[in-house]
């Protein structure tokens, strides 16, 4: 990091360059070259030495080679390109009793590390090659973030997000086209999400945090445009007469929702126990009666962290359990569609909205340790989807050649435990088609 002194202010410039290679792993071909990517991240930070203001800009670009040849990102000037190019960009003002941040930034609420139900502000790239890759997965959002400090223990946060930026996720288009007797069906699902920042969100989030020496508490409420995929049936038409005719296109929707969350964390003699619980209700489907949107759900996460000594070796462990409860079911639907069409829509709910099972359970574990005076770090993260009968493993190791240069290798593997379609259900949205191994080298300064 370079520092340049100016009049009562300072500018810092930093960057890293990463070269990585991801290869797919599959039974029929064992290994394939998925991509080779050169990524650059440049960071410019300026701040007043008196601590009144600061500004941060992070810009990301990459050159990639895959089966389609060479490509660059950004590749143009669309809203998606801008979202990919500018990782963070915001200005901060610091006052005696409150802070104000304006711009594109991350705000993560909740006390657990995995899938916190309080963490609903920023959007996410679900198609990142690894669930645990915090660089390619989370995406910042433009916002106004105000934090007030009435006392040393109490913090009150308000966040306003003006624009919608949907989750990045690949969903296959689905066509249903057949004629049988007096039944004529010509319909489909088209995954055409809006580009980021094309639609207003006017999302409002608030949180109260209370911090003491022994415990942390957080209560949050959000009234927001849910950035996770939903469905719109307004173009779907059904006519029952001499012929039973169904036609139209189902398209993605991003609806307004309420989210209420509570998080707590306590430290006890080297143990840290954290828990988050949250309830999300679509604003116009509080009772689960609408067929054209997601049902309400409650998610709970319990996490335990503790370091263990194995001889001279220190091992940091994290274990957690996640439960997702979908309220109501298809029995609660009130629609004018026929039972046949309801069954088709229900299968779309199951496949794309992951609400086929009322209860989903996951177990999460992570082990971390280091060797060679912390130059070599080894980590393994595992997620067992009990309901979906699948196991996700993410082992990785990194070695610091110097203070500015490191190399790493790892894998992201999904094991189907009960049938070829079992991984298609649930929170993690992964299947064995995304199995991969990778190597990378990173230079930062």
pLDDT of residue 349: 76
Establish if 316 belongs to a structural domain: no
**Residues 53 and 179 grouped into a single domain:** no
Q: What pLDDT, on a 0 to 100 scale, did the predictor assign at position 6? A: 43
Tens digits of residue pLDDT in 77-132: 788 888 888 999 999 999 999 999 999 999 999 999 988 999 999 998 877 777 66
Would you state the pLDDT for residue 420?
Answer: 55
What integer is the mean pLDDT of 291-298?
A: 87
Give me the mean pLDDT over the 58-72 stretch: 88
User: Are 63 and 115 in a shared domain?
Assistant: no
Q: Are residues 41 and 1 in the same domain?
A: yes
* Alpha-carbon span 303 to 366, nearest angstrom: 11
Bigger pLDDT: 22 vs 193: 22
Residue 363 CA to residue 387 CA, distance in Å, equals: 10
Among 200, 202, 195, smallest CA distance to 79 is for 195
Residues 343 and 366 in one domain: no
Confidence band (pLDDT; 50, 70, 90) for 300? very high
Confidence at 4, pLDDT banded by 50, 70, 90: very low
pLDDT digit string, tens, across residues 364-399: 999 999 998 889 999 999 988 888 788 889 999 999
Q: Output the pLDDT for position 27.
A: 63
Using CA of residue 364, residue 416, residue 411, residue 309, what is the dihedral sign? positive
Structural domain includes residue 313? no
What per-residue string of b and e applies to 394-406 under the rule 16 or more CB within 10 Å gives b?
bbbebbbeeeeeb
Looking at the structure, tell me whether residues 137 and 244 fall in a common domain: yes
User: What percent of the chain shows pLDDT beyond 70?
Assistant: 92
Residue 3: band (very low, low, confident or very high) from pLDDT cuts 50, 70, 90: very low
Asked whether residue 259 is assigned to any structural domain, the reply reads yes
- Residue after which a domain boundary falls, among 88, 122, 143: 88
How many CB atoms sit inside 10 A of residue 445's CB? 12
Stated length of the chain: 445
Higher pLDDT, 112 or 290: 112
pLDDT at 413 > cutoff 70: yes
Taking the CB of residue 360, how many other CB atoms lie within 10 A of it?
Answer: 23
Based on the domain organization, do 235 and 260 belong to the same domain? yes
Is residue 279 predicted with pLDDT exceeding 80? yes
The answer, yes or no, to whether residue 208 has pLDDT greater than 90, is yes
Q: Given the DSSP bridges, would you call strands 154-163 and 200-211 parallel, antiparallel or unpaired?
A: antiparallel
Does 369 lie in the same domain as 338? no
CA 62 to chain CA centroid, Å, is: 21
DSSP type of residue 374: T
Report strand pairing: 32-48 vs 2-6. Answer: unpaired
What backbone phi and psi angles, to 5 degrees, belong to 108?
-115, 120
User: Pick the residue with more confidence: 432 or 176?
Assistant: 176
Domain that holds residue 388: 357-445
Kindly state whether residue 343 falls inside one of the protein's structural domains: yes
Q: What is the mean pLDDT of residues 29-44?
A: 83
Indicate if the pLDDT at residue 7 is higher than 70: no
Q: Are residues 189 and 103 in the same domain?
A: yes
The three-class DSSP label of residue 219 is strand
Q: Is position 65 within any domain?
A: yes
Residue 435 lies in a domain: yes
CA atoms within 13 A of residue 143's CA, in its CB half-sphere: 27
Task: Give percent above pLDDT 90 in the chain.
Answer: 48
298 has pLDDT over 90:
yes
Taking all residues of the chain, what is their mean pLDDT, rounded to a whole number?
87
Name the 3-class secondary structure at 84.
helix
197: CB partners within 8 A, 6+ apart: 79, 82, 83, 142, 163, 164, 165
Amino acid 424: pLDDT: 52
What is residue 161's predicted lDDT score, i.e. its pLDDT?
Answer: 98
- 101 with 83, same domain? no
Say whether both 346 and 402 belong to one domain.
Answer: no
Give the residue with greater pLDDT, 127 vs 134. 127
Q: Return the H-helix or E-strand segment holding 3.
A: strand 2-6
Alpha-helix runs per DSSP H in 218-369:
339-348
CB 177 within 8 A of CB 135: no
pLDDT tens digits, residue range 232-260?
Answer: 888 999 999 888 999 999 888 899 999 99
Domain closes at, from 45, 70, 88: 88
Q: Is 41 in the same domain as 154? A: no
Q: What is the pLDDT of residues 316-351, one digit of tens each?
A: 999 999 999 988 776 778 888 888 888 888 888 777
Selected residue with higher pLDDT from 288 and 85: 85
315 in a domain, yes or no? no
Asked if pLDDT for residue 212 goes beyond 50, the answer is yes
Weakest mean pLDDT among 107-121, 156-170, 426-440 = 426-440
Is the pLDDT score of 421 beyond 60?
no
Looking at the 3D structure of the chain, how many domains does it have? 3
Where residue 29 falls among pLDDT bands split at 50, 70, 90? low
Residue 318 lies in a domain: no
Could you give the C-alpha distances from 279 to 128, 301, 304, 369, in angstroms and in order?
26, 12, 22, 35
Let me know whether 201 and 61 are in one domain: no
């Amino acid at each position: 990091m370079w520092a340049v002194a100016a009049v009562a202010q300072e500018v810092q410039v930093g960057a890293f360059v990463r070269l990585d290679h991801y290869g797919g792993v599959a039974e029929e071909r064992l290994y394939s070259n998925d991509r080779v990517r050169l990524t650059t991240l440049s960071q410019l930070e300026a701040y007043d030495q008196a601590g009144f203001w600061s500004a941060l800009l992070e810009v990301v670009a990459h050159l990639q080679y895959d089966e389609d040849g060479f490509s660059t990102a950004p590749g143009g000037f669309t809203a998606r390109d801008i979202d990919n190019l500018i990782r963070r960009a915001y200005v901060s003002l610091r006052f005696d009793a409150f802070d104000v941040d304006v711009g594109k930034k991350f705000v993560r609420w909740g006390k657990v590390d995995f899938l916190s139900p309080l963490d609903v502000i920023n959007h996410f790239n679900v198609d990142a090659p690894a669930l645990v890759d915090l660089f390619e997965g989370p995406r910042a959002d433009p916002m106004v973030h105000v934090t007030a400090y009435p006392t040393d223990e109490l913090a009150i946060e308000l966040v306003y997000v003006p624009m919608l930026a949907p989750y990045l996720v690949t969903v296959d288009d689905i066509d249903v086209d057949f004629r049988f007797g007096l039944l004529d069906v010509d319909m489909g699902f088209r995954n055409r999400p809006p580009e980021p920042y094309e639609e207003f969100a006017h999302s409002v989030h608030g949180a109260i945090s209370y911090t003491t020496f022994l415990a942390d508490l957080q209560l949050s409420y959000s009234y927001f445009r849910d950035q996770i995929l939903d469905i719109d049936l307004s173009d779907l038409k059904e006519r029952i007469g001499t012929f039973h005719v169904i036609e139209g296109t189902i398209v993605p929707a991003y609806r307004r929702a309420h989210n209420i969350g509570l998080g707590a964390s306590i430290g006890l003699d080297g143990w840290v126990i954290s828990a988050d619980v949250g309830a999300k209700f679509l604003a116009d489907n509080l009772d689960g009666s609408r067929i054209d949107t997601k049902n309400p759900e409650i998610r709970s996460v319990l996490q335990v962290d503790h370091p263990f000594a194995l001889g001279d070796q220190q091992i940091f462990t994290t274990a957690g359990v996640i439960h997702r409860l979908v309220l109501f079911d298809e029995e609660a639907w009130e629609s004018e569609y026929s039972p046949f069409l309801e069954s088709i829509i229900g299968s779309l709910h199951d496949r794309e909205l992951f609400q086929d099972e009322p209860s989903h359970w996951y177990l999460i574990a992570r082990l971390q340790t280091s060797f060679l005076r912390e130059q070599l770090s080894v980590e393994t993260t595992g997620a067992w989807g009990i309901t979906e009968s699948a196991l996700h493993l993410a082992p990785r190791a990194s070695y610091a050649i110097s203070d500015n240069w490191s190399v790493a290798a790892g894998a992201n593997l999904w094991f189907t435990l009960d049938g070829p379609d079992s991984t298609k259900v649930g929170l993690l949205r992964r299947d064995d088609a995304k199995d991969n191994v990778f190597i990378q080298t990173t230079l930062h300064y």
